[in-house]
């Protein structure tokens, strides 16, 4: 059994895989990670684990986890099932590495664009030669709302609201249109631009805002909320069997 530990900015996602089959997943606060990990290891008889850190996790917690199971900490030097052609590999986030690994595993010999709609929106392109070439990073949906409020004197802080209204009739409606329709047009624009170069492109949409955005995109996409976890598991399996 494999334990996947995805450390985000505010919480930690935990998942257990039997080979490539997801058995369970949960989200915990950073203060409860260690007890949750101990419980999962005991319940599922976990042999191997991998940690991906976008946010921070204490050295004490990581050390304890390494005592309980065979642990890999994902870094730029961790062997992965693709060629990393990023110009600054030391700056490439662990989450983007995991998404590329999932793309290569699930869509071999295919040009894949992975879009992760979370705190930021990341775009990651992997070609049909298993080469990760890079992508783009832009503000996520919630970040756009917070930016309008933070950097102006009078605009309120709104919660994201799905809309296809092109012309907002009030200030609040205009903010929703700018944030929501704006991010939709950005994502559709990236997809269309890539498809002009790679007509047989496969597009994966994942992340916390994938559900609210996916239904209104013009381009065809595959939505997979567990894509990052599956990618981390594929990296772990790659290292176990290599």
Which residues is 72 bridged to in the sheet? 50
178 marked as binding residue: no
DSSP state of 238: H
194 marked as binding residue: no
The whole-number pLDDT of residue 72 equals 93
Q: Give mean pLDDT, residues 176-198.
A: 97
Vertex 213: Cα angle to 137 and 28 (nearest 5): 75
pTM of the predicted model, to two decimals? 0.90
Query: CA–CA distance from 159 to each of 137, 175, 180 (Å)?
Result: 22, 10, 11
Whether 54 has a pLDDT exceeding 80, the answer reads no
12 marked as binding residue: yes
108 three-state secondary structure: coil
- Which of the pair, 198 or 55, is modelled with greater confidence? 198
Domains of the chain: 2-73 (3.30.420.40), 83-231 (3.30.420.40)
Distance of alpha carbon 39 from alpha carbon 138, whole angstroms: 37
What are the respective helix, strand and coil percentages of the chain, to the nearest 5?
40, 25, 35
209 marked as binding residue: no
* 224 alpha-carbon distance from chain centroid: 10
Phi, psi of 109 (to 5 degrees): 55, 35
Query: CA–CA distance from 230 to each of 147, 194, 199 (Å)?
Result: 32, 24, 26
Dihedral Cα 43, 66, 92, 21, nearest 10 deg:
-20
In this predicted model, what pLDDT tens digit does every residue of 137-164 receive, in sequence order?
999 999 999 999 999 999 999 999 999 9
Contacts of 81 (CB under 8 A, 6+ apart): 101, 104, 105, 130, 234, 235, 238
The whole-number pLDDT of residue 117 equals 94
Q: Give mean pLDDT, residues 203-220.
A: 91
- 8 Å CB contact between 219 and 203: yes
Distance of alpha carbon 71 from alpha carbon 94, whole angstroms: 15
Distance of alpha carbon 211 from alpha carbon 225, whole angstroms: 8
- Which of the pair, 59 or 201, is modelled with greater confidence? 201
The whole-number pLDDT of residue 57 equals 80
Among 18, 95, 188, 209, which one carries the catalytic annotation?
A: 95
93 marked as binding residue: yes
Distance of alpha carbon 107 from alpha carbon 213, whole angstroms: 23
Whether 126 has a pLDDT exceeding 80, the answer reads yes
101 marked as binding residue: no
Number of continuous H segments (helices) and E segments (strands) in the chain:
8, 11
Q: Give mean pLDDT, residues 15-21.
A: 94
Q: Give mean pLDDT, residues 187-199.
A: 96
* Beta pairing class for 202-206 and 222-223: parallel
Q: Give mean pLDDT, residues 27-42.
A: 90
179 marked as binding residue: no
Active site residue 77: no
In this predicted model, what pLDDT tens digit does every residue of 83-117 receive, in sequence order?
999 999 999 999 999 999 999 999 999 999 999 99
Whether 11 has a pLDDT exceeding 90, the answer reads no
């Amino acid at each position: 059994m494999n334990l996947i530990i995805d450390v985000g900015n505010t919480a930690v996602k935990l998942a257990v895989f039997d080979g490539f089959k997801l058995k369970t997943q949960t989200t915990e606060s950073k203060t409860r990670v260690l007890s949750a990990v101990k419980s999962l290891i005991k319940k599922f008889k976990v042999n191997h684990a991998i940690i991906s850190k976008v946010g921070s996790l204490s050295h004490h917690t990581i050390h304890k986890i390494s005592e309980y199971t065979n642990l890999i900490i994902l870094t730029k030097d961790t062997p992965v099932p693709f060629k990393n052609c990023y110009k600054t590999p030391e700056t490439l986030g662990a989450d983007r590495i995991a998404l590329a690994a999932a793309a290569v595993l699930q869509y071999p010999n295919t040009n894949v664009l992975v879009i992760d709609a979370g705190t930021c929106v990341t775009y990651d392109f992997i070609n049909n030669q298993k080469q990760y070439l890079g992508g783009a990073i832009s503000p996520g949906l919630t970040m756009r709302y917070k930016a309008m409020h933070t950097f102006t004197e009078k605009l309120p802080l709104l919660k994201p609201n799905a809309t296809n209204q092109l012309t907002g009739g009030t200030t609040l409606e205009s903010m929703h249109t700018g944030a929501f329709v704006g991010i939709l047009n950005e994502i559709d624009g990236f997809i269309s631009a890539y498809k002009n170069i790679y007509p047989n492109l496969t597009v994966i949409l994942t992340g916390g805002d994938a559900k609210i955005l996916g239904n209104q995109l013009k381009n065809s996409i595959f939505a997979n909320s567990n894509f990052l976890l599956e990618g981390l598991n594929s990296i772990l399996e790659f290292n176990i069997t290599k």
